[in-house]
């Protein structure tokens, strides 16, 4: 057996020591985001990952975890990214990639490196698209999808209301102007000055 083959087998065995991609990474992230995306989108993303496991056999339970790299580089994964992007849910896939990088960085570096490269490419595409396609409606929908209590006013201003803060966003083609207001109480002036200094650092 050649050196390359032995290295591949060793890496595959190390990958097997990590958590299972679908059951422990994908399902965990989806459970955390279930209340922030429509049920139909949640089910479609979960079903696509399940079908991918059947096709690529990257499960640690009788499969080969290193094949996850093949899936991440596949047209099927690019199709999933495109679907999630169209549904304003790409951030969910990004969280899954982030969790994958953390899980496999030491055990299976080739998977972590692949996930990191794809994550950077996906974010770059979103950033480039955002520079030319910013609109109040897009900003409003994105924030709503992520769980913020957002309102789109008739004048095109997006308003976010939190328990002790408000944010006002004015959107142009390439810029989002924002005003963040934080409410609170203090028993002395020094604590207010400290908060002002924190704001100045932003």
Cα→Cα distances 175→130, 145, 155, 171, 179, Å = 9, 21, 17, 6, 13
Judged against a pLDDT cut of 80, whether residue 64 lies above it is answered with yes
Q: What is the mean predicted confidence (pLDDT) over 29-48?
A: 94
110-122 per-position pLDDT tens digit: 999 999 999 999 9
153-197 per-position pLDDT tens digit: 988 899 999 888 899 999 886 688 899 888 888 888 888 888 777
Please, which pLDDT band fits residue 129 given cuts at 50, 70 and 90? Answer: low
Judged against a pLDDT cut of 70, whether residue 136 lies above it is answered with yes
- Dihedral over alpha carbons 21, 27, 29, 34 (to 10 degrees): 160
7-28 per-position pLDDT tens digit: 556 666 667 677 889 999 999 9
Domain locations in the chain as residue ranges? 3-133, 136-201
Let me know: does 160 contact 150? Beta carbons within 8 Å: yes
- pLDDT value, residue 202: 62
Coil, strand, or helix at residue 151?
A: strand
Cα→Cα distances 128→62, 84, 121, 123, 136, Å = 41, 17, 11, 9, 17
Q: What pTM does this model have?
A: 0.61
Please, which pLDDT band fits residue 2 given cuts at 50, 70 and 90? Answer: very low
Cα→Cα distances 131→127, 142, 172, Å = 6, 15, 10
Helix extents (H) in the chain = 3-15, 27-33, 39-56, 68-72, 75-86, 90-104, 109-133, 136-145, 189-201
């Amino acid at each position: 057996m050649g050196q390359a083959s032995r290295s591949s087998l060793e890496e595959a065995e190390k990958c097997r020591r990590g958590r299972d991609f679908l059951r422990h990474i994908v399902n965990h992230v989806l459970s955390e985001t279930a209340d922030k995306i429509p049920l139909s989108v949640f089910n479609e993303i979960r079903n696509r990952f399940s079908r991918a496991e059947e096709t690529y056999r990257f499960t640690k339970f009788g499969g080969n975890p290193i094949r996850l790299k093949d899936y991440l580089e596949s047209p099927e994964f690019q199709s999933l990214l495109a679907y999630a992007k169209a549904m304003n849910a790409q951030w969910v896939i990004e969280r899954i990639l982030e969790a994958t990088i953390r899980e496999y960085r030491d055990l299976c570096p080739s998977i972590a490196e692949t996930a990191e490269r794809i994550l950077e490419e996906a974010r770059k595409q979103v950033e480039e698209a955002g520079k030319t396609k910013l609109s109040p409606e897009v900003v409003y929908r994105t924030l709503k999808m992520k769980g913020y209590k957002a309102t789109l006013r008739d004048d095109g201003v997006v308003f976010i209301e939190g328990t002790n803060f408000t944010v006002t966003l004015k959107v142009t083609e390439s810029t989002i102007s924002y005003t963040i207001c934080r409410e609170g109480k203090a028993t002395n002036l020094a604590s207010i000055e400290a908060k002002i200094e924190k704001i100045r650092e932003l």
